[in-house]
Amino acid sequence: MGLSRLLPRPNTRSTSTEKGTSLARVIAFANQKGGVAKTTTTLNLGVALKEAGHSVLLVDLDPQGNLTMSQGWNPDEIERSMFDVLVHKLPVEEIIRENEVDVAVSSIDLAGAELALSSMIGRERALEKALVSVKSKYDYILIDTPPSLGLLTINALVASNGVIVPVQCEYLSLRGLVQLENTLSMIRENLNPDVEIQGILPTMYDKRLLHSREAIDILRENFGELVFNTKIRKTVRYAEAPVKGQSVLGYEPGGDAAALYRDLAREVLNGAQAREHA
């Protein structure tokens, strides 16, 4: 298929390297294209991992604060947030709130973090340093990033062991993978040699549409085993749950939407020694 030529064909290899079994595995959810279900995936995978018996911290690194809102808090009313952690070096423990899972909350102030960080030495490592004090308290730390490849997302990638890339099953989302991989290559070369693409997650999948099925074929042709078997299908449940301040697992625990994220959690746990995208 002609579209497949737009994507590089990376070599993939597995790795058994882990930074330490006593520390949290840190996973960033990144894609510079908005509307691909990064926040939905961060929250619901986090709740599914907690259901499976793991301690989980979610970090809302998006100034829009959608992850924070999805657990019932208004970002406009939050006085101290990830902005204070990154810019003023406030201990991250002081802005963690508890609901279905623990959340390091965001506020609109975070929109000014990139400008505030830009003049700081070690600005790309602000998040990595902030998480040191809590990495021994959790099994998984999941980071929701903004829809850009700016300094906030770079901080997330530098702080992470792995990256999960939610990709909407359409042509334009597939193109965005090239730019993300270029950014990751630079980060591996200069800042974090161990960060890996842990998996590519097809989202908004509609098996009735030829275009969706073709997108899956292109992903598998170019990225092979990096593509998760779980495909997150379109459903209104993912929009309804945040209105109630819940994950879809809390909102409709017996539904198909919740089952998909439990399936994804099993894949993530089974692949804990992450696959590398070199």
What's the Cα-to-Cα distance from 156 to each of 45, 62, 138, rounded to whole Å? 17, 11, 17
The pLDDT assigned to 267 comes to: 96
Spatial separation of the C-alpha atoms in residues 214 and 191, rounded to whole Å: 35
Structure tokens at 190: 């200069």
CATH number of 27-267: 3.40.50.300
Spatial separation of the C-alpha atoms in residues 46 and 260, rounded to whole Å: 13
CB 71 within 8 A of CB 103: yes
The pLDDT assigned to 211 comes to: 79
The pLDDT assigned to 123 comes to: 94
CB 87 within 8 A of CB 115: no
Helices (H), 98-170: 113-117, 126-131, 151-159
Spatial separation of the C-alpha atoms in residues 176 and 32, rounded to whole Å: 7
The pTM score is 0.88
Spatial separation of the C-alpha atoms in residues 218 and 178, rounded to whole Å: 13
CB 223 within 8 A of CB 276: no
The pLDDT assigned to 171 comes to: 67
The pLDDT assigned to 53 comes to: 97
Spatial separation of the C-alpha atoms in residues 108 and 268, rounded to whole Å: 31
Spans of the chain, pLDDT less than 50: 1-21, 273-278
Task: State the DSSP code for 166.
Answer: E
CB 15 within 8 A of CB 273: yes
- Give the closest residue to 212 by CA, choosing from 244, 168, 148, 163: 168
User: Which position has the token pair 């911290």?
Assistant: 57
Spatial separation of the C-alpha atoms in residues 123 and 114, rounded to whole Å: 9
What is the phi/psi pair of residue 97, to 5°? Answer: -115, 155
What is the phi/psi pair of residue 196, to 5°? Answer: -130, 150
Q: Which helix (H) or strand (E) holds 13?
A: strand 12-14
The SS3 of residue 200 is strand
